[in-house]
């Protein structure tokens, strides 16, 4: 994945591209796959979505009388 159209050009040349949010990308990514951010840039970064884990939020409250 890339952070800007310029980074796409560095990594892949001139190509058609699309964008989506990080949350959408993580929802579409199969289990066990990692991502590489800006692979053609000066400091590519490997991201392991499994390291994020899923968090559960539980709200406890009382019903009004």
pLDDT in tens, 27-57: 898 988 999 999 888 999 998 887 776 666 7
- The number of residues in the chain equals 65
| Residue 63 lies inside a defined structural domain of this protein | no
Query: Domain residues for 21?
Result: 5-50
- Decide: pTM greater than 0.95: no
Counted domains in the chain = 1
- 16 assigned to some structural domain: yes
Give the E-state strand segments of 1-65 in sequence order: 35-37, 45-47
Higher pLDDT, 19 or 50: 19
Residue 12, domain member (yes or no): yes
Give a yes or no: residue 65 inside a domain. no
Q: Which of 60, 14, 17 is nearest to 1 (CA)?
A: 17
């Amino acid at each position: 994945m890339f952070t800007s159209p310029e980074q796409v050009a560095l990594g892949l040349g001139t190509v058609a591209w699309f964008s989506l949010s990080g949350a959408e990308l993580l929802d579409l990514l199969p289990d066990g796959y990692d991502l590489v951010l800006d692979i053609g840039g000066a400091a590519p970064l490997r991201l392991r979505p499994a390291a994020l884990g899923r968090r559960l939020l539980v709200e406890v409250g009382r019903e009004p009388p």
